[in-house]
Amino acid sequence: MSEDHLSPQLGRLIDVAKSAVNEAGLSSRSVEVVGFLTAGGEIFTGCYSKDDPENPSCDAATDALERCIQAGHEDIDAAIVAGGDASEDSAPCAECHAVLMDIDPELPLLVKQRGRWVLLPVDRVSPQT
């Protein structure tokens, strides 16, 4: 499914994730944002910066999942991975990919491919190397 056919909720998920990248206040190339869209339409994000010496391991997906669960939502309908240049491809880091696979290998995941947002099952997206 290409971005031309995304639902308004998925469009909102993209907007929230892009905003979270910008709010990180760091080089967007060093930021990874993972966001979750719940069945009720709420969005929870987690952010990781490679430039943060106090946080050496990527935990954007874990952070977003914990926020989602703390708010009483375990019903995740879709996820997104954002960061880097707007024209570049996006894919989850290995740690985030593992968290997403644990949630559901068929969880719909928004990623950027060739400058366009596409929706694919997590198990069809390779983690960054």
pLDDT in tens, 48-60: 877 666 665 678 9
At 1, is the pLDDT very low, low, confident or very high (cuts 50, 70, 90)? very low
The DSSP bridge pattern shows strands 43-49 and 31-38 to be antiparallel
Whole-number pLDDT of residue 111:
94
Strand stretches in the chain, DSSP E: 31-38, 43-49, 76-82, 108-113, 116-121
Whole-number pLDDT of residue 61:
94
pLDDT in tens, 5-30: 789 999 999 999 989 888 876 555 57
pLDDT in tens, 68-89: 999 999 899 999 999 866 667 8
Domains of the chain plus CATH, in order, are 3-122 (3.40.140.10)
Residue appearing with tokens 């952010």: 47
pLDDT in tens, 34-48: 999 999 999 999 988
Whole-number pLDDT of residue 2:
45
Most distant pair of Cα atoms in the chain: their distance: 40
| Radius of gyration of the CA atoms of the chain, in A | 13
